[in-house]
Amino acid sequence: MAYRGDLDAWYNKGYALKEQGKLDQAIAAFDKALEVGPEDARIWTIKGNTLLELGQHEKAIDAYNHVLRTFPDNADTIVNIASALIEMGRYDEAIKECNRALEIDPDHYLALVFLQQAKEKTKS
């Protein structure tokens, strides 16, 4: 039987590997943590961030969507999705996500920044 301590140990290991630039190994550690706590939003978020660093944008969005199932009004997570969409060149979708985040938090700095970036990209 797995315990909460196992989840934290795998999270910490993954975080350390991520900081060392060992992103694939970090993902493996986060996956182990998710075996213990499959709904842990903290793990899904850092896994999504790591996948984004690896350029695995669709997988990152999937990870962020796990967070939104538990916390549907998490503006930070919605902005992370917008960031991935911008990286993928899906600017109209990114604009929608930024606007969704701004409905929740009208002063969300990154939502405003990414909204502007996406709008500029649609003009070019």
Tell me: the pLDDT tens digits for 41-61? 999 999 999 999 999 999 999
Q: Which positions ≥6 away from 106 have C-beta within 8 Å?
A: none
Q: Cα(96)–Cα(115) distance, rounded to whole angstroms?
A: 9
Total number of residues shown for the chain: 124
**60 and 80 in contact (C-beta within 8 Å)?**
yes
pLDDT score recorded for residue 102: 98
pLDDT tens track for 67-93: 999 999 999 999 999 999 999 999 999
Is the pTM for the entire model greater than 0.85?
Answer: yes
- Cβ-proximal residues to 28 (8 Å cutoff; 6+ apart), any chain: 14
